[in-house]
């Protein structure tokens, strides 16, 4: 699925690099640079071994200070603490590849690359390789431990990858309780130094990825990872110490059955890519395709059966039927199928409850999945079904062929709650098996996405987010949170937040309830999510009657679920955001604000040549009091036009741009 591949050696003085122990890699535009070197405590002999470190600069300013890199292996000295550079190889790649789902359909994969071969100075002379890639908007590096006589087994007990930030950054942190969570919490803004020393007492905080930060006067940066096949998911922990400490260190999820081991297996071993997404504005990070670019090419030869799309869904509303009462029955699932067909949606999702207890190959009598699938086919709608992780893991070899025979289109697998080595291996195994049986996947109760959809394009969704389901339980899902997500969780892509709430209420009127839930934020705010949030399998979560006779529903009906191009017009984490996305010749734009009303100037320079019909869904003048009210207007625009978006508290602005044919 790649084309125009160009891999060329760069002209470097390899001998000089090896002799000095320093290797530098620059991005194609020259703004980003990562330097690897070995350092020793004085006195040190020339050419002797030392601790491997790296540092990063952006536009000539220090972004990451010298930070240690080494691997601790069971019953062995750390690998990387006493090494010397023996060889370096550099190259560059400029290619184009295609994605079925995501923020862009055609991606330019342009980077410079560096390989550093290292060897221990003395002792068993173990070997270690570092690989690095520099894109214009990201840097990435990973450890490679090659096959070698001095290592008979690989048992990793700690990976020490430090991120010593050049100055105290403002971070947007996802605090997690342990390594078995579902990544469902808020991102909190604070200074990194606030984690280092709580009231004079050293403390440690476990943070999930991605970790966004603003390094004042230098850059916006996010720490993330890509291509986690064969290893464990990475977390971060603050470098606790004095009150001026502002760095982080990697933590890998330990094996569930042996918490003293992080990764075990044969050689060669390569870690996941440690990724630093960098830009002058936070919106540049949202546009980056670095994570998918760092994953291998597609393993599915025939992808003609993989189709992103929107889905009606029974669970969020409480399975409300046409009589306004909850009913988990075959007839009620057909009601949701009818709604999908009438709305032009590709899918309907049957959530938890259809299978016999503990047996996902049999039904419990309440919902007949094959009958719903058969009925849906007559309406040109396909069906997804829900599975629990534990039962799916035990029975998928038997169950997946059955689902294929039934005609099921995709599986939503829930409550995974792990990303240790065995857990990550499961993601890849289930993707491969599902592809064999032409089943698409949506992971819930999951880890964060890491670009896997390039390798396994049948993976269309990850949850790993505090989503709209929280409106059933409390006030955590609110406009402040909504405008934080694009700059944090969504950096990884594939964010199944499950939008579509149409009972829009003010903060004062909100009440949590499990049937026909309310949502905070204006109607236009929630419409904008369909342009802002990246979800190739996109839910339309409310019950069908919520959308009946609602003119604003047209925006959701017309919005695609995957994109050819993405442009971020403006925004700040937790405050506001505007994103424009292209699908074919049409563009869709979404603006959202927190609880602060604001007016935004939106230049339309992203449009193509010619004129467009802009279908604008804006907050009505009284939307601050009556948030369901939407102003819908149509006007002619072109790429020289500026739109003035007036957003109410918790408000939004959604626009569809349709080319006007001459």
Dihedral over alpha carbons 195, 163, 424, 349 (to 10 degrees): 60
**Residue 21: exposure state from Cβ atoms within 10 A (0-12, 13-18, ≥19):** buried
The yes-or-no verdict on residue 515 having pLDDT over 70 is yes
Residue 478 neighbours by CB distance under 10 Å? 20
The yes-or-no verdict on residue 565 having pLDDT over 50 is yes
The yes-or-no verdict on residue 9 having pLDDT over 50 is no
Higher pLDDT: 639 or 43? It is: 639
pTM comes to 0.95
**Whole-angstrom distance, CA of residue 330 vs CA of residue 407:** 16
What local confidence, expressed as pLDDT, does residue 48 receive? 65
The yes-or-no verdict on residue 5 having pLDDT over 70 is no
What local confidence, expressed as pLDDT, does residue 140 receive? 98
Tell me the pLDDT band of 12, cut-offs 50, 70 and 90: very low
What local confidence, expressed as pLDDT, does residue 15 receive? 30
pLDDT digits (tens, 9 = 90+) for 42-70: 544 455 689 999 999 999 999 999 999 99
Residues in the chain: 662
Reference 215, options 64, 73, 338, 415; nearest CA is 64
The yes-or-no verdict on residue 253 having pLDDT over 90 is yes
Would you list the DSSP string of 421-458? HHHHHHHHHHHHHHHHTT-EEEE-S-----SGGGT-TT
Q: Which helix (H) or strand (E) holds 156?
A: strand 154-164
Would you list the DSSP string of 87-99? EEEEEEEEEEEE-
What local confidence, expressed as pLDDT, does residue 21 receive? 74
What local confidence, expressed as pLDDT, does residue 424 receive? 98
What local confidence, expressed as pLDDT, does residue 41 receive? 64
Query: Could you tell me if residue 116 is left (phi over 0), alpha (psi between -120 and 50 degrees) or otherwise beta?
Result: beta
The yes-or-no verdict on residue 624 having pLDDT over 70 is yes
**Cα three-residue angle 492-495-498, rounded to 5 degrees:** 170
What local confidence, expressed as pLDDT, does residue 154 receive? 94
The yes-or-no verdict on residue 18 having pLDDT over 60 is no
165: which DSSP letter? B
What's the mean pLDDT in 364-376? 97
Q: Which two tokens stand for residue 371?
A: 């009958």
What local confidence, expressed as pLDDT, does residue 47 receive? 54
User: Using an 8 Å Cβ cutoff, are 96 and 297 in contact?
Assistant: no
pLDDT digits (tens, 9 = 90+) for 518-557: 999 999 999 999 999 999 999 999 999 999 999 999 999 9
Reference 426, options 407, 405, 452; nearest CA is 452
pLDDT digits (tens, 9 = 90+) for 458-509: 999 999 999 999 999 999 999 999 999 999 999 999 999 999 999 999 999 9
Q: How many distinct helices (H) and strands (E) make up the chain? A: 11, 41
Helix (H, G, I), strand (E, B) or coil at 481: helix
Angstrom CA distances, 662 to 198, 605, 627, 644, 659, stand at 65, 20, 38, 27, 9
The per-residue pLDDT of the chain, averaged, comes to 94
What's the mean pLDDT in 436-447? 98
What local confidence, expressed as pLDDT, does residue 6 receive? 39
Tell me the pLDDT band of 244, cut-offs 50, 70 and 90: confident
pLDDT digits (tens, 9 = 90+) for 138-172: 999 999 999 999 898 899 999 999 999 999 999 99
User: Using an 8 Å Cβ cutoff, are 372 and 350 in contact?
Assistant: yes
What's the mean pLDDT in 237-248? 86
What local confidence, expressed as pLDDT, does residue 212 receive? 98
User: What are the residues facing 7 on neighbouring strands?
Assistant: 93
Helix (H, G, I), strand (E, B) or coil at 512: coil
Q: Are strands 83-98 and 106-120 parallel, antiparallel or unpaired?
A: antiparallel
Looking from the CA of 117 toward its CB, the CA atoms found within 13 Å total: 10
């Amino acid at each position: 699925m790649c084309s125009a591949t160009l891999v060329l050696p760069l002209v470097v003085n390899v001998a000089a690099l090896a002799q000095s122990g320093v290797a530098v890699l620059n991005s194609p535009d020259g703004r980003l640079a990562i330097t690897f070197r070995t350092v020793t405590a004085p006195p040190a002999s020339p050419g002797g071994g030392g601790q491997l470190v790296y540092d990063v600069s952006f536009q000539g300013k220090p972004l990451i200070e010298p930070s240690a890199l080494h691997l601790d292996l069971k019953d062995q000295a750390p690998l990387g603490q006493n090494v010397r550079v023996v060889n370096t190889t550099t190259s560059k790649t400029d290619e184009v590849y295609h994605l079925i789902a995501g923020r862009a359909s055609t991606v330019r994969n342009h980077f410079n690359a560096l390989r550093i071969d290292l060897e221990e100075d003395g002792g068993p002379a173990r070997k270690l390789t570092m690989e690095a890639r520099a894109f214009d908007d990201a840097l990435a590096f990973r450890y490679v431990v090659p096959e070698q006589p001095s290592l008979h087994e690989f048992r990793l007990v700690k990976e020490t990858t430090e991120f010593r930030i050049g100055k105290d950054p403002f971070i947007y942190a996802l605090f997690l309780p342990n390594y078995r969570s579902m990544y469902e919490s808020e991102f909190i803004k604070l200074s990194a130094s606030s984690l280092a020393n709580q009231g004079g007492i050293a403390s440690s905080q476990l943070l999930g990825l991605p970790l966004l930060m603003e390094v004042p006067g230098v850059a916006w940066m996010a720490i993330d990872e890509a291509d986690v096949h064969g290893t464990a998911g990475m977390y971060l922990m603050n470098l606790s110490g004095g009150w001026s400490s502002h760095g982080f260190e990697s933590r890998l999820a330990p094996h569930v059955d042996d918490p003293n081991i992080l990764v075990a297996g044969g050689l060669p071993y390569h870690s996941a890519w440690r990724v630093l997404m960098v830009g002058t504005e936070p919106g540049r990070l949202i546009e980056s395709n670095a994570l998918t670019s760092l994953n291998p090419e597609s393993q599915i030869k025939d992808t003609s059966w993989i189709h992103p799309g929107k889905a009606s869904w029974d669970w969020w509303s409480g399975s409300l039927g046409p009589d306004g009462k909850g009913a988990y029955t075959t007839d009620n699932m057909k009601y949701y199928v009818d709604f999908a067909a009438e709305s032009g949606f590709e899918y309907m999702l049957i959530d938890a409850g259809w299978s016999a207890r503990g047996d996902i190959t049999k039904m419990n009598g309440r919902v007949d999945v094959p009958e719903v699938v058969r009925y849906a086919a007559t309406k040109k709608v396909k069906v997804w079904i829900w599975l629990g992780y534990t039962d799916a893991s035990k029975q998928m070899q038997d169950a997946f062929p059955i689902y294929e025979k039934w005609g099921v289109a995709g599986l939503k697998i829930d409550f995974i709650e792990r990303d240790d080595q065995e857990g990550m291996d499961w993601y890849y195994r289930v993707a491969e098996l599902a592809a064999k049986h032409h089943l698409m996947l949506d992971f819930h109760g999951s880890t964060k996405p890491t670009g896997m959809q390039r390798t396994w394009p049948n993976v269309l969704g990850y949850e790993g987010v505090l989503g709209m389901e929280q409106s059933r339980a409390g006030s955590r899902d609110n406009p402040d949170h909504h405008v934080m997500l694009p700059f944090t969780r969504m950096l990884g892509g594939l964010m199944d937040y499950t939008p579509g709430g149409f009972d829009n209420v003010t903060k004062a009127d909100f009440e949590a309830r499990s049937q026909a839930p309310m949502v905070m934020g204006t109607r236009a705010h929630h419409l904008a999510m369909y342009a802002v949030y990246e979800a190739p399998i996109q839910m339309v979560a409310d019950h069908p009657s919520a959308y009946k006779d609602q003119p604003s529903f047209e925006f959701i009906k017309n919005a695609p679920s995957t994109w050819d191009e993405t442009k971020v017009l403006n925004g700040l984490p937790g405050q506001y955001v505007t994103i424009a996305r292209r699908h074919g010749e049409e563009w869709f734009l979404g603006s959202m604000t927190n609880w602060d009303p604001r007016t935004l100037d939106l230049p339309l320079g992203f449009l193509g040549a010619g004129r467009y019909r802009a279908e604008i869904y804006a907050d009505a003048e009284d939307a601050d009091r009556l948030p369901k009210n939407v102003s819908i207007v149509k006007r002619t625009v072109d790429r020289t036009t500026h739109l003035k978006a007036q957003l109410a508290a918790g408000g939004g602005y959604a626009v569809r741009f349709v080319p006007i044919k001459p």
